[in-house]
Amino acid sequence: MENYTMEGRTYRYYGQEAPLYPFGYGLSYTTFQYRDLVLSPPALPVCANLSVSVVLENTGQRDGEEVVQLYLRWEQSSVPVPRWQLVAFRRVAVLAGRETKLSFQVVAEQRAIWAQDWHLEPGTFTLFVGGQQPGQQMRVPSEVLSARFTVTGAARPLRGC
């Protein structure tokens, strides 16, 4: 085998074509609403970690569980990268009519790209948080919040951080 590219071979590189059953696909007996997405800091050095918080509210009449998913998208990269990459997820039980504030860390290693070695690049990134993949079509409404953050500094090998 001489062609190791993942283009067209895995759902992460299909372009605009969505997988039939994406990660997190399924139904729920209740509804959830996401709000107050906060990225801290909004501009960070190339080797720094990103703190993420979001409020999840069960707006339905039944207790339920939601799989909160965080996806990262590179806005511009020096090499081909996935449309978005799952960087964190957590199953959360929320009582009917209640809400919970969740915190996550997106570590620098999760922004690393492969170009003969793992390295980190500066640039603009978009983080998506919700109960499904960004752009996923579902029969049950679920929202995905997004926010951008910027990584500053010079590109460097991951092992140099």
Query: Which strands, in side-by-side order, build the sheet including 99-106?
Result: 32-40, 50-58, 99-106
* pLDDT of res. 4: 58
Which of 89, 86, 98 shows the shortest CA–CA distance to 30? 98
Question: How far is the C-alpha of 18 from the C-alpha of 134, rounded, in Å?
Answer: 10
- Calpha distance 93→129 (Å, rounded): 17
Q: What is the pLDDT of residue 69?
A: 94
Instruction: Write down the pLDDT at residue 134.
Output: 83
User: Can you list the domains of the chain with their CATH numbers?
Assistant: 32-160 (2.60.40.10)
- Confidence at residue 12, expressed as pLDDT on a 0 to 100 scale: 54
pLDDT per 10-residue tile (average), the chain, 161 residues: 60 58 70 95 96 96 94 92 91 96 97 92 96 70 86 94 90
First to last CA, the chain: 34
**Residue 13 has what pLDDT?**
53
